[in-house]
Structure 1
Amino acid sequence: MEGGVENQNSAQDIDLDDILPKIGEFGRYQKLMLWFVCLPACFPCGFCAFNQLFMTDTPPHWCWIPELHNLTSEQRKLLSIPNENGTKYSKCYQYDSNWANVMMNEPMADSEETKKIVECKNGWEFDMSEIQSTIVKDFELVCDKDIYPTLGLVALNFGGPIGVYVFGMLNDRIGRKKSFFTCLTTLLCGSFLTAFAENFTMWIFSRFIVGLTIPAIYQIPFIISLELVGPSYRAFVTVLTCMFYTIGLCMLAVVAYLIRDWRQLSLATSVPFTLYYFYWFVLPESPRWLLAKGRFDEALKILKDLAETNDKELPPSFIQNLKRTRSKSEEEELKKSPGLKGLCGSPNMRLKTSLITLNWFANEMVYVGLSYYGPSLGSNEYLSFLLSSAVEIPSYLMCWMIMDKWGRRWPLCLCMVISGVSCIATVLLPQDAVITTLVLFLISKSAISASFLIIYPFAGELYPTQLRGIGIGFSAYVGGLGLIIIPFITYLGSEMLILPLIIMGSISVIGGISGLRLPETLHHRLPQTVEEGEEFGKNFTMEDCLRCIPMRPDISRAASYENLELQQLEPQEDTPLDLPRQRRVSMRKLVKQQSIMDTPKDEHGNMKITYWV
């Protein structure tokens, strides 16, 4: 009798991750959903987060003199606009003369050396030979208002943390599917308001509305993808979603090159996503969320469809005991969760939390800052943005292959230091070395992209299970504050092109070097409780700091920790012919590897969105 009760309890404590290997961790069902639904759903985030860079192009401009309208633009500049340093015309000042008399061929009262210089009196004249329309021209955001486009980026990034909180609640209350379409509708409304804005106030409000959906519009399908595949494939799915996000940025560069009108660009980068409403008929709700909400019939239907599409059969024992419960000890442990106090309540946890947050702040700030600054470098802003986006793809692939061999610490440090040094090195170049500056910028962008992919799983592995969700959320939110600051840093480039690169490079180097103080997690069993988190890496030495190749620890010393090592593929037969094959690192093994590359989870095991771009 006791054995029957024990079997019944063990059957009831079924995790969805236990079911997926039986019905297919990455079968035909997941591949169809991933390639045709979830991955394309990553495009709107990149399109709508960075199309603003091309809306705020500042064309060459100078003071408009109505009396000289019959002259050519070169004649008007030569006659009425003072030279700055003898090389370029002033953008904000004009000579103060009676231009009506000048046009009547009356002699000017003053020589060029003694002419009075004043600010523009009648607005500005813009060179629109390369751009059809820009908000800078339409709303005259130049001279004393030239910081206004920067405030637009601040408004966009200010909406992000608010949106993550709002859509995070919706994600947990009404489900992933409905919250995605709510987020999509908000994004489209903000984009339409942007296209039809009649003044700067309306435009900046519309950008705040768009910012509410970033990065939530990316993370909701990302979470659906992670919850549909088995644990062994989540690292692979993470890399794929990052790559599709980057492909979206490359597509944006092409669209912006073809469409030079900012209103049309806003519509072109949003209207096509109305087709995503057809996803309502094919996008499944998360089975994990349905189980947590007690909607077992709906979850069972999705799991049966998944199994049938994968040519598998849902085991009868799983069907009978699908309801996922937790033991009393687990529930009591969750109620005892120490919250934010646990992150800073002990010396080692306080140090690790500070270093993780510093690295997250540096990564997010430098990555987004370089993305914003890309169009400013090189002779062609569209090509520069395209290249700065394309270099992310090889960095993701390289990172994916090496981080489970060389660990997290040194790849993170090297990537951030290389990125920072490449930025700082631009100070040694002459001002006319445009191509060399662009090459160094691309190296920096590629390196920081790789480190940004490392910091997320690294943080998840360092925080103990009890604090993993709140720890990642805290570090991500603090890191998100850098996105509010970074537009002002890039604004400094209007006076000195390389100054933002020097600032971002310094931040990257400081963050990378400080990351070496964090303990390595590869081959280690991860801490579950706050006490284990305090002990993990507590006896960190200089030898540990300088060790490049991670060592395998004595497993018996950390028997209570979660296992992080790569999940080995189980061969069908242990034959002599199979043994050499097992020693090779195959693409299949790279695709199927264990890591903590997922988002924070709530008490039901449901993944939660956080402020991670």
Structure 2
Amino acid sequence: MDLDDVLHHAGDWGKYQHLLLWLVCLPACIPCGFAAFNQVFMDRVPDAWCKIPELMSAEWSPENRKTVSIPKLGSTYSQCLKYDVNYTDIVWESGVGSNLTGNESTVTFCTDGWEYDVEQVSSSIVIDFDLVCSKSLYPTIGLSALNVGGLVGVLLFGYLNDRIGRKKNYFLCLTIEIVFGCATAFSPNVYWYIVFRFFVGLTIPAILHIPFVICLEVVAPSKRTLVSFYSNMFYVVGLMGFSGLAYATPQWQLIALTTSLPFVVYFLYIFFLPESMRWLLSQGRVKEVVEMLKKIASVNCRYIPDEILQKFTETMEHQREQADCLRNGRRANWRDLFQTPNMRMKTLIISFSWVVNETTYVGLSYYGPSMGNDPYLSFFLSSVVEIPGYIFCLLLMDRLGRRMTLCSCMILSGVAAISTALVPTDAEMLTLALFLIAKCTIAGGTMIIFQFGGELYPTEVRGVGIGLASFLGGIGLTLIPFVNYLGTQWLVLPIVMMGAFSVAGGIVTLKLPETLGAKLPQTLEEGEDFGKDFEGWADAIQQISR
């Protein structure tokens, strides 16, 4: 008798589960989204040009200052160059600077800093730390540092989950996120800013996954897909709220504080968030699990017979003894995923698909404010469109199957993204619409791949397989900010690159066998046999033709 059997008696989708889900686990998703995306409004880049102290002292208008001192590159003023002339003489000769024309003198690099169009962007780390020209890559490095932190955090907090438990680990994550999120607001220079972003990144995505996993453990297996759907929806609602918060707090320091400090209230969860029952069982603390089961049954107005609890206790203690005996024996590791040809192929495809979905989703999310005329509205819309993506995928994955739904999402997202390159540069609304279609469909893909990948891996290596895919996805996230940086030269170039990546991933995904309605593998041997006779693309094309 296992935990799910006893939960059935205690109630596995009752009042207790709903209270835990709606009042604790789902609100706990919000800090992750705020911390992951607040930088897109802290490092906005305004128009900039060389500062000329002599012209500023003469109180010339910004337009006159640019006209007389800044060379044009095409139709725009240079950000990094100025005319190499004596501006004191120009002030004396020209008076207030009326009827001026540009110089034909030699040019030189900015030597006295920069001026910024603060009507366009009133506050940004770019303005405060002069992150333009030779330092224009620094905001991208800061965003990459956030994702490097996430990569380290997956390993660190994954280890701590097994050492100190999920509950303590969650509050450790929360403490780090709040402390370094607030410290970001007081960064004395860009180097400290990057360091603080790394430490904030440590908590992403652990601060999201820990309460989610705790909640999954106490609900019926048949409801876990629904819980995953609710988690994604609540995460999106948090992003929508964040766009409004960023609009209301234009100062980048305030954005850093308001997306960190208010979450101090989450420490009240110490009285409500339960410890992971499966972790307690792994530590041999069966009596505590029994007390938790009794509490769940009481809240759900159910009763667990004593003989059920006694049998459960004996079973768990026996399993614990067996585990102690085998502790020094061989355990499953990532090498097992590559020992046999079918498992090797599925592992490579799942990992590739995971990387494609995660990097494309996050990359498009980062790029949202760059689309359209209003960055806040664009980010809001890029969050809202995730909702229909999740709903459609929830409805279709149990009808069309996981493989075809995932493939359709990825290819449709890729085609929409690539199509932005075919749109005239002045058709901003059409470009935005295509971008939103790409974001909507790839968001659905991210929801499917987590479940689909878990179903394809056999039980004994499922955690190893998902961990490997997640780690590789984290590596992709450290690179995606540099892909987005290419948009400074051509706005839609990063979108097109992510689109091509998504199409390739969708086509490759067709090689995976379907899991809908199938008996899922438990052992490595069953995992090798599962889908071995599947013809891949040939079977997929035959299914589409029907």
User: What range describes the TM-score normalised by the shorter chain of this pair?
Assistant: over 0.9
Query: Residue type matched to 2:309 in 1?
Result: I
Note the residue ranges of structure 2 that are not aligned, 5 or more in a row: none
Measured after TM superposition, the shift of residue 328 of structure 1 is 8.3
Q: Which residue of structure 2 lines up, in the alignment, with residue 181 of structure 1?
A: 171
Q: Does 1:321 align with 2:321?
A: no
SS across alignment from 2:115: strand
Q: What is the alpha-carbon distance in structure 2 between the residues aligned to residue 192 and residue 55 of structure 1?
A: 13
Q: Which residue of structure 2 lines up, in the alignment, with residue 356 of structure 1?
A: 350
Structure 1 residues 550 and 404: CA distance shift in structure 2, 3 A: farther
Q: Does 1:75 align with 2:64?
A: yes
Q: Which residue of structure 1 lines up, in the alignment, with residue 540 of structure 2?
A: 545
**Aligned pair partner of 1:483 in 455, 463, 477:** 477
Q: Does 1:97 align with 2:85?
A: yes
Q: What is the alpha-carbon distance in structure 1 between the residues aligned to residue 455 and residue 213 of structure 2?
A: 18
TM-score normalised by L of structure 1: 0.84
Contact 1:406 1:549 survives alignment (8 Å) = no
Q: Which moves more between the two structures, 522-531 or 293-302? A: 293-302
**Aligned pair partner of 2:2 in 12, 15, 18:** 15
Q: Which residue of structure 2 lines up, in the alignment, with residue 27 of structure 1?
A: 14
Q: Which residue of structure 2 lines up, in the alignment, with residue 222 of structure 1?
A: 212
SS across alignment from 1:441: helix
Q: Which residue of structure 2 lines up, in the alignment, with residue 53 of structure 1?
A: 40
Query: Residue type matched to 2:176 in 1?
Result: T
Alignment of 1:3-402 (within 5 A): 14-69=1-56, 70-85=59-74, 87-105=75-93, 112=102, 114-323=104-313, 324=316, 325-326=318-319, 335-402=329-396
Query: Residue type matched to 1:104 in 2?
Result: W
Contact 1:139 1:199 survives alignment (8 Å) = yes
Contact 1:395 1:450 survives alignment (8 Å) = yes
Structure 1 residues 44 and 327: CA distance shift in structure 2, 3 A: closer
Note the residue ranges of structure 1 that are not aligned, 5 or more in a row: 1-13, 552-613
Q: What is the alpha-carbon distance in structure 2 between the residues aligned to residue 111 and residue 272 of structure 1?
A: 52
1:575-611 CA distance string (max 9 Å, x none): xxxxxxxxxxxxxxxxxxxxxxxxxxxxxxxxxxxxx
Q: What is the alpha-carbon distance in structure 1 between the residues aligned to residue 52 and residue 445 of structure 2?
A: 52
Q: Which moves more between the two structures, 317-326 or 264-273? A: 317-326
Alignment of 1:374-523 (within 5 A): 374-523=368-517
Q: What is the alpha-carbon distance in structure 1 between the residues aligned to residue 331 and residue 522 of structure 2?
A: 11
Measured after TM superposition, the shift of residue 517 of structure 1 is 0.8
Measured after TM superposition, the shift of residue 338 of structure 1 is 4.3
Structure 1 residues 334 and 353: CA distance shift in structure 2, 3 A: farther
SS across alignment from 2:292: helix
Query: Residue type matched to 1:97 in 2?
Result: V
1:347-373 CA distance string (max 9 Å, x none): 111111111111111111111110111
Query: Residue type matched to 2:530 in 1?
Result: F
Aligned pairs, number: 536
Measured after TM superposition, the shift of residue 212 of structure 1 is 0.3
SS across alignment from 1:228: coil
SS across alignment from 1:497: coil
List structure 1 segments (4+ residues) > 6 angstroms apart after TM superposition. 327-331
1:549-598 CA distance string (max 9 Å, x none): 799xxxxxxxxxxxxxxxxxxxxxxxxxxxxxxxxxxxxxxxxxxxxxxx
SS across alignment from 1:540: coil
Percent of counterpart pairs with the same letter?
49
Query: Residue type matched to 1:326 in 2?
Result: Q
Give 1 or 2: higher helix fraction: 2
Contact 1:337 1:467 survives alignment (8 Å) = no
